[in-house]
Amino acid sequence: MVTRGFLAGASAKAFLVVLACSCASTAIAAPRAPFRAALPEPPPLVRQLAAAPTAASPAPEAFTIDLSPPRAADADFDIAAALVPAEGWAFAEALDAFVHGARGERRALRRAIADFYAARFYRPLWREGVGWRAEAAAVLERLRCAGEDGLDLRAYPLPDPGAQPAEAADEIALSEAVVAYATQAAGGRIDPQRLSRLIGARPSLPEPGAVLAATAGAGAQAAEALQDYNPPHPGYRALKEKLAELRNARAPDAPTRYAESRTVARDDTPARKRRAAPAAVRDTRLRAEIIANMERWRWMPRDLGENRIEVNIPDFELAVIRDGEVTHRARVIVGKEGTPTPVFSNAMQFIIVNPYWNVPPSILNKEMLPKFGGDLQAIAARGYEVVYRNGHARVRQRPGEGNALGRIKFMFPNDFSVYLHDTPSRALFASTHRAFSHGCVRVDQPFRFAEAVLGSGWREERVKRLIGDQERYINLARPLPIHIEYFTAYVDESGRLQLRGDLYGYSAKVRAALGLEG
């Protein structure tokens, strides 16, 4: 406990110590005065000024420093406690019970809320007098509509805005629900990497105190400030509109025949389930699928980039986007179920024409060596180079028409060692279900894609003129964001809901993690 007497005594002692040290330092540092005979004679004007009469200097003012121990009356004085209003003590006790009434992650969240209130000396955020502030009513309405955003706040009971007086427990409950909404909206319900190590998303979750300060501090726009923790992307908002159509008992636009034909022909596909199940069950499953995809939007970077590349794995397609508009589309081949294409965001930096293919150790050991009886020389006779380094053999395929990467590859350094590239097996692009690779993404008409990526000055023909037997590098003028995504439900440019097969089972895992039926 800090007391006034202690502060006064400590400050005085510190002052005297500093003063004594200062004087001692001055005495030690002062040079010895020279003999009078060694001093030069001052000029006449200076001698006249020195001889002039002066007013008497005032006597120094005396003061006394009390170094006595603090009095008993001051010993119980707490500066921090004095700043807490009288009603704040009851609020502090309510917060303490609130924190200890939970465990695990929820207790940590409640502790952060309690710390926020302690920093503001337990002054209420949402209440004023015995009633609610105006912004509290708007925030409560937004929280009651959390289901519109695909969120679930059933574990957070909301206070009645019409109840009088507004109690401390009501204030605390509202703050917890606000923080829970913001955390869920930012992607805090699921850790994507627990679903698969090949999902590289790491959602950035807001700090509870910052959420409360920003929301309450927005005044009349408090509800909008809270809703802004949801993804800002048009793709998310379009799915939210489809969810509202379903919720309002208006059947959403049926997926087109194109959408149905593109779905993987497996028993667990959304298309087959919709056809086989009764209408009510179909709506429940469709709602779950939409919410699962809204959840995956929360894993995306908030700023995708006005210029970017998007690859949607279940759609087997990529798009180049410039200034927010799609300028190029291409079919792609993605990883097989056993060798999935990773889901992550990065930035494309350069292109290699006539690339070598460095055979991954997994492919070399599991496929090539068994095929050739473990004979590296037999592999070398098929157009590969065997390079020995530090006692280990590395195999790479020379540039050429038969190279596994084709004639061009597109590089964006990443932890998964995947990239986009050409392929000599171009007939596979005619397939509807294009999951044939070991994880990398093969691009149809790759030189046309290169033109779309490089922009002005790099026509398709110019890039093709670099074809030869030596690697050629083209650096992008600036890194281009690339997002390898996994959306099994999305809304196309015409406003129609499109559904795709759950190739890697990620959508089913999200639905299960969120407790959604279907």
pLDDT digits (tens, 9 = 90+) for 345-362: 999 999 999 999 999 888
Q: Strand 392-397 and strand 357-358: pairing? A: antiparallel
Which tokens in the block code for residue 279? Answer: 């209408």
User: Contact 380/479 with Cβ under 8 angstroms?
Assistant: no
Q: Which residue has the tokens 């807490």?
A: 84
**What pLDDT sits at residue 102?**
94
Q: What's the CA gap between 408 and 398, in Å, rounded?
A: 13
Return the active site residues. Answer: 421, 440
Q: Which residue has the tokens 């199940």?
A: 277
**What pLDDT sits at residue 48?**
55
Q: In 357-422, which residue ranges form alpha helices assigned H by DSSP?
A: 361-363, 369-371, 376-380
Q: Strand 325-335 and strand 317-322: pairing? A: antiparallel
**What pLDDT sits at residue 387?**
87
**What pLDDT sits at residue 374?**
84
Per-residue pLDDT for 377 more than 80? yes
Per-residue pLDDT for 426 more than 90? yes
Rounded to a whole number of angstroms, the CA Rg of the chain reads 36
**What pLDDT sits at residue 470?**
96
Q: Strand 325-335 and strand 435-437: pairing? A: parallel
Per-residue pLDDT for 61 more than 90? no
CA angle 362, 367, 368 (to 5 degrees): 100
How many Cα neighbours within 13 Å face the side chain of 58?
Answer: 3
User: Contact 471/460 with Cβ under 8 angstroms?
Assistant: no
Q: What's the CA gap between 156 and 176, in Å, rounded?
A: 7
Q: In 120-189, which residue ranges form alpha helices assigned H by DSSP?
A: 134-144, 168-185
Which tokens in the block code for residue 452? Answer: 């779309």
Per-residue pLDDT for 174 more than 90? yes
